[in-house]
């Protein structure tokens, strides 16, 4: 394969993947990845072992393995260079975020009514769950409320459904008459899956959760000081975990719940980054 052919093939793969993850179904339905704010990168010749990330410590698994959390943190705690292929810039995401919040400053006063609305919306979306320990002292773990967890699950199902629809559609050559007829045979079932996951999402509180999320957004301007203070507390030195032998310290903010598939290795890692510009 010539370099020109390789570039053409890679461009085709990028275009198909980007099209699949940013696909917006008909009927004004929303997409989780906007075309204007999504950036896709490939990480070449990188193998991942699921055993390295098994039973990782996280907010939902506080008794998990710190070594797995460290491995996951080191994998995701990278600011990539802006290029077609993924390459780490050498800058840590956690350190960059900490630098931003530590140097942030605001003198906005908090309006009591705005704070009341903010607190109501926050409590609607978040809860503290106590996980028992063997010594009788429970661990308090922050997480989503049941309606938010249902929202997240339904959103994931919907995104999977319409991404599957788009990926399947991209597999057909519509210049070919046989492919045109074959697509007509499978499209209704795929569309039904998109419709059913969307309807389930709507019926199980989508509007309620988004109303609370919007309340947070509309009151956040008066709570900028509180938000910055909370972020500074989250990224304070006291939050960093003690270093493990041979590894850097792990910020608890980066120890996120994750899910890996059943395959032992991935030769290429697909990274989908969404940037929000305000």
Give me the sign of the Cα torsion angle 101, 102, 104, 107: positive
Helix axes 206-219, 177-203, angle to 10 degrees: 70
Percent of the chain with pLDDT over 90: 19
Token pair 């007509």 is at which residue?
184
Structural domain spans, the chain: 33-274
Q: Between 252 and 111, whose confidence is greater?
A: 111
How confident is the model over 33-45, as a mean pLDDT? 79
Mean pLDDT, range 36-52, rounded to an integer: 81
Q: Lowest mean pLDDT: which of 65-74, 108-117, 120-129, 267-276?
A: 267-276
Mean pLDDT, rounded, for 256-262: 33
Predicted local distance difference test score (pLDDT) of residue 76? 82
**d(Cα 41, Cα 25) in Å, to the nearest integer?**
24
Residue 261 has pLDDT above 80, yes or no: no
Half-sphere exposure of 158 (CA within 13 A, CB side): 26
Cα four-point dihedral sign 6, 8, 12, 15 = positive
Q: What is the pLDDT of residues 118-127, one digit of tens each?
A: 889 999 999 9
Residues in the chain: 278
Residue pair 89/41 in contact (Cβ under 8 Å)? The answer is: no
- 102-111 long-range contacts, CB within 8 A, separation 24+: 102/232, 102/235, 104/228, 104/231, 104/232, 105/228, 106/224, 106/225, 106/228, 107/225, 108/221, 108/222, 108/223, 108/224, 108/225, 109/222, 110/222, 110/223, 110/225, 110/226, 111/222
pLDDT at 167 over 80: yes
Per-residue model confidence (pLDDT) at position 202: 93
Nearest to 249 by CA among 235, 259, 269: 235
Angle between helices 3-21 and 146-170 (to 10 degrees): 140
Sign of CA dihedral 89, 91, 97, 99: negative
| Cα-only R_g, the chain | 22
Q: Is the pLDDT of residue 146 over 60?
A: yes
What is the predicted pLDDT for the residue at 28? 64
Is the per-residue pLDDT at 275 higher than 60? Answer: no
Please give the sequence-ordered ranges of beta strands (E in DSSP) within the chain, or none if there are none.
38-43, 79-80, 88-91, 126-131, 139-144, 269-274
Beta bridge partners of 273: 39
């Amino acid at each position: 394969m010539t370099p020109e052919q390789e570039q053409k093939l890679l461009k085709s793969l990028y275009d198909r993947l980007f099209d699949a993850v940013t696909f917006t179904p008909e009927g004004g339905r929303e997409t989780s990845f906007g075309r204007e704010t999504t950036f896709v990168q490939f990480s070449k010749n990188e193998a991942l072992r699921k055993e390295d990330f098994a039973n990782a410590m996280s907010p939902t698994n506080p008794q998990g393995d710190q070594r797995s959390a460290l491995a996951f943190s080191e994998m995701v705690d990278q600011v990539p260079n802006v290029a077609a292929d993924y390459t780490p810039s050498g800058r840590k995401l956690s350190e960059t975020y900490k630098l931003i919040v530590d140097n942030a400053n605001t003198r906005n006063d908090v309006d009591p009514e705005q704070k009341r609305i903010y607190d109501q919306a926050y409590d609607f979306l978040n809860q503290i769950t106590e996980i028992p320990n063997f010594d009788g002292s429970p661990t308090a773990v922050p997480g989503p409320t049941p309606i938010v967890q249902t929202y997240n699950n339904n959103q994931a199902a919907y995104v999977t459904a319409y991404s599957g629809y788009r990926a399947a559609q991209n597999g057909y050559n519509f210049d070919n008459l046989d492919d045109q007829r074959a697509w007509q045979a499978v499209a209704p079932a795929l569309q039904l899956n998109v419709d059913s996951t969307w309807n389930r999402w709507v019926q199980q509180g989508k509007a309620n959760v988004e109303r609370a999320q919007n309340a947070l957004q509309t009151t956040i301007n008066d709570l900028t000081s509180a938000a910055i203070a909370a972020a500074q507390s989250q990224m304070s030195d006291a939050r960093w975990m003690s270093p493990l032998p041979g590894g850097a310290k792990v910020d608890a903010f980066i120890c996120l719940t994750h899910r890996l598939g059943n395959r032992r290795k991935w030769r290429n890692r697909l990274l989908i980054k969404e940037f929000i510009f305000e």
